[in-house]
């Protein structure tokens, strides 16, 4: 999806945040996925502060204000309709 968004020239960047104390799977994730990943810590508590659920996608605007949440467990990106819906959420946020 990142490549498709890059082609639009809207400056949309995707990244992932790994939950604090869940570092054991990071190497497997980073080997099989192209998204940059940052690691949450107990001190920062980003995951908890946002009330994150496993596989949530948080869409933020250019000011890093939360606009929408899309869960990939409920909406598999293997389904073209879900893939396009999420991509369009990113585009709408970037063009508003």
Band of pLDDT at residue 29, cut at 50, 70 and 90: low
* pTM of the predicted structure, to 2 decimals: 0.82
* Cα–Cα distance measured from residue 49 to residue 51, given in angstroms and rounded to the nearest whole number: 6
Q: What's the mean pLDDT when you consider all of the chain? A: 88
Please name every residue paired with 57 in a beta bridge, in sequence order, or none if there are none: 70
Could you state, in order of their start, the residue ranges of all structural domains in the chain?
A: 2-95
Q: Identify the pLDDT of residue 75.
A: 97
36-83 pLDDT, tens digit each: 888 888 999 988 998 888 899 999 999 999 999 999 999 999 999 999
Q: What is the DSSP string of the chain?
A: -HHHHHHHTS-----EEEPTT-GGGHHHHHHH--S-EEE--TTT-HHHHTT--TTEEEEE-TT--EEEEEETTTS-TTSHHHHHHHHHHHHHHHH-
């Amino acid at each position: 999806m990142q490549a498709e968004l890059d082609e639009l020239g809207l400056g949309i960047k995707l990244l992932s945040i790994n939950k604090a104390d869940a570092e054991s799977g990071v190497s497997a994730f980073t080997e099989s996925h192209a998204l940059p990943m940052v690691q949450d810590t107990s001190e920062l508590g980003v995951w908890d502060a946002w009330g994150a659920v496993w596989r949530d996608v948080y869409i933020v605007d250019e000011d890093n204000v939360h606009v929408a949440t899309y869960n990939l467990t409920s909406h598999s990106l293997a389904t073209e309709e879900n893939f396009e819906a999420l991509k369009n959420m990113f585009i709408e946020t970037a063009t508003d």
